[in-house]
């Protein structure tokens, strides 16, 4: 059972860790090329939250069902899953849609790479960064719930 706890903790750290860096990686972009590069870096690291976040949920549920952790409706269990669902909705329903539209606009853009991005591109870029920031903040809530569990 200890090995499953190790898998769970490591997958949570590896899954959520890079996500905390995404808002920093999406810092202010002065040019269209900066936007493209920053979005490309974040996209290349998104595999970590997808893969290890899923592993953290599966290993956590497995730990719950094979261990003696009490009732499922405890705040730390139910709350963690609820926050995880909110993060997934935030990412799938909003962040991915806006990021895909932004990347398409950047790819279709006839704007010179060194040019300042238009107001619309900047607005969407800030939305993507802010959604990543919210997902990271909710990830901290998950860690707090896991740490303060009874």
User: What pLDDT score was predicted for residue 125?
Assistant: 95
C-alpha dihedral, 10 to 14 to 17 to 22, nearest 10°? -170
Residue span of the structural domain in which 84 resides: 2-147
Rounded to whole angstroms, how far apart are CA atoms 60 and 37?
35
> Which pLDDT tens digit goes with each residue over 90-135?
999 999 999 999 999 888 867 676 688 888 999 999 999 999 999 9
Whole-model pTM over 0.85: yes
- DSSP state string for 93-104: IIIHHHHHHHHH
User: What pLDDT score was predicted for residue 81?
Assistant: 93
C-alpha dihedral, 98 to 83 to 130 to 34, nearest 10°? -70
Stretch 7-23: mean pLDDT: 91
Rounded to whole angstroms, how far apart are CA atoms 74 and 69?
9
Which range is least confidently modeled, 2-6, 85-89, 107-111?
107-111
User: What pLDDT score was predicted for residue 139?
Assistant: 93
> Which pLDDT tens digit goes with each residue over 23-81?
999 988 888 889 999 999 999 999 999 999 999 999 999 999 998 888 888 888 999 99
Which alpha helices (DSSP H) does the chain contain, by range? Answer: 2-25, 32-45, 47-66, 75-89, 96-108, 119-147
Stretch 132-140: mean pLDDT: 94
- How many domains would you assign to the chain? 1
User: What pLDDT score was predicted for residue 117?
Assistant: 85
104: Cβ–Cβ under 8 A, 6 or more apart, which residues? none
Q: Give yes or no for residue 150 having a pLDDT over 80.
A: no
3 state DSSP class of 46: coil
């Amino acid at each position: 059972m200890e090995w499953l706890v190790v898998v769970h903790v490591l997958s949570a750290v590896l899954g959520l860790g890079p996500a905390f860096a995404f808002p920093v990686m999406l810092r202010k972009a002065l040019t269209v090329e900066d936007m493209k590069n920053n979005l490309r870096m974040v996209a290349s690291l998104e595999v970590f939250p997808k893969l290890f976040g899923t592993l953290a949920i599966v290993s956590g549920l497995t730990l719950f069902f094979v261990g003696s952790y009490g009732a499922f409706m405890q705040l730390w269990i139910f709350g963690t899953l609820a926050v995880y669902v909110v993060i997934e909705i935030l990412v799938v329903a909003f962040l991915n849609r806006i990021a895909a539209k932004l990347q398409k606009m950047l790819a279709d853009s006839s704007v010179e790479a060194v040019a300042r991005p238009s107001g619309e591109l900047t607005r969407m870029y800030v939305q993507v960064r802010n959604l990543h920031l919210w997902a990271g903040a909710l990830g901290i809530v998950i860690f707090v719930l896991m740490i303060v569990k009874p």
